[in-house]
Amino acid sequence: DAMVIQNPRYQVTQFGKPVTLSCSQTLNHNVMYWYQQKSSQAPKLLFHYYDKDFNNEADTPDNFQSRRPNTSFCFLDIRSPGLGDAAMYLCATSRRQGADTQYFGPGTRLTVL
Partner 1 sequence: AQSVTQLGSHVSVSEGALVLLRCNYSSSVPPYLFWYVQYPNQGLQLLLKYTSAATLVKGINGFEAEFKKSETSFHLTKPSAHMSDAAEYFCAVSETNAGGTSYGKLTFGQGTILTVHP
List residues near partner 1 by CB under 8 A: 4, 6, 31, 33, 40-45, 48, 50, 57, 88, 90, 92, 94, 97-107, 109
Task: Pick between residue 81 and residue 93 the one whose CB is nearest to partner 1.
Answer: 93
Q: Which is nearer to partner 1, 3 or 80 (CB)?
A: 3
Q: How far is the CB of 27 from partner 1 (least distance, A)?
A: 13
10 by Cβ neighbours in 10 Å (0-12 / 13-18 / 19+) ranks as exposed
